[in-house]
Structures are given as C-alpha cells and as structure tokens.
Amino acid sequence: MYMPVILGTAREGRQSEKAAKFVLVELEKAGLETELVDVRDFLIGHTDNTGTTELARKWAEKMKRADGLIIVSPEYNHSFPGELKLMLDALYQEYMNKPIGICGVSAGPLGGARAVEQLRLVSVEFHLVPIREAVYFSEINELFEENGEIKDAAYSNRVKKLLDELIWYAKALKTEREKEYRKE
C-alpha cells in the first residue's frame, strides 16, 4: 500500500515539518510504502488548476497511485494554508474513493483542530473519505528534541490509531474500486 504524507505548509521556519517526518517514520515502521510530499515542491499557483502543468501532472501521478493519503498541516487563522489549498485544488478525479487522515499542528494547545475540520469538508467534495481518527500536534515548538525525537511518546499510539483506521478504509475501498475496473 502506498500512502504519501503531504506536508501542507511552505513557510519559512515551519514547525510542521517535524510532525510530518515523525508521521512518515511511523508509516515506514508499519511497513507501508510512503514518502514525504512537500508542498514546497508543489507550489501550484492559481494558473495550474487545470492540472496541465508539469507540477500538477507530477502530483496527479502520485495521487493516482495512492491508496489513501495523510495530510500534516498547521492551522493558520482557524484554517489551512493557502498553498495547500492550491495544491489540493489542482486535482479531482485522482482522489476518488480513497481515505484521508488529517494531522493538525499548532503552536497552542488545540492541535490545529479547526483546520482539520475545514479540510474534512473540502475532502468530502473530492470524494475522499475523511476518517474519524486524527492526530493533533499541539505546542509544536516544544514538542520535539533538537534531534527531531518527539518528547511525548503518546503520539506514537495516536498515529497508530490513525493508521489502523486508514488502512481499514484503504482495503475496503481498494477492493471495491478494483471490482469496478474488472467490470469495465
């Protein structure tokens, strides 16, 4: 199973990168094929919404192959970063009938919970399946050691719960999608 981890902010000094890398390692430990897809490498401007540019095509290739995806995104003013929305809006068909797990990140104690909610509503429009489990990385500036290790071990278990649900849905939906392809 291939499950990319999308890092949703391109800001200088972004803290979410640490959370995304932590999630990535947990996916690898679980034996999933994965990779970090950094929105910095996919700064898809408003002109790329037709999905015809090189960047949009590269992003489409990844999503076409994906069995599901995880977004790790900070919350800026109770919602997601603009560059993440531009990237997401570039595709449509490629998301269809795949599960999405969302991890929020914030400097404060609420772990990006509002951004998670707004992203869930966007993902429904893409025919993605927003799963219930989520991980809320709060107090992000103090959450990691210098060497990138997480200070609060409880997060491993939270990512595991997210993964369990994500994989459950990925299997269920893949089986059904493949039935359809056989019919065609």
CB of 147 to a second copy, least distance (A): 26
- Is the Cβ of residue 28 or residue 41 nearer to a second copy in the bound state? 41
CB of 148 to a second copy, least distance (A): 22
Residue 21 or 174 having the CB closest to a second copy: 174
* CB proximity list for 30: less than 8 A, separation 6 or greater: 160, 163
Q: Least CB distance from residue 140 to a second copy, whole Å? A: 14
Type of residue numbered 83: E
User: Shortest Cβ distance from residue 51 to a second copy (Å)?
Assistant: 13
Question: How many angstroms separate the first and last alpha carbons of the chain?
Answer: 23
Strand, coil or helix: 46: helix
Binding site for a second copy (CB under 8 A): 9-12, 43, 45-47, 49-50, 76-89, 97, 109-111, 113-114, 117-118, 120-122, 124-127, 129-132, 136, 138, 165, 168, 171-173, 175-176
Nearer to a second copy, 33 or 164 (CB): 164
Of 25 and 53, nearer to a second copy (C-beta) is 53
* Other CB atoms within 10 Å distance of the CB of residue 79: 17
- Tokens 């995304």, located at residue: 20
Estimate to the nearest angstrom the gap between the alpha carbon of 146 and the chain centroid.
Answer: 24
For a second copy, the closer of residues 5 and 170 by Cβ is 170
Q: How many CA atoms lie within 13 A of 58 on its CB side?
A: 11
CB of 73 to a second copy, least distance (A): 12
Distance CA 33, CA 29 (A): 10
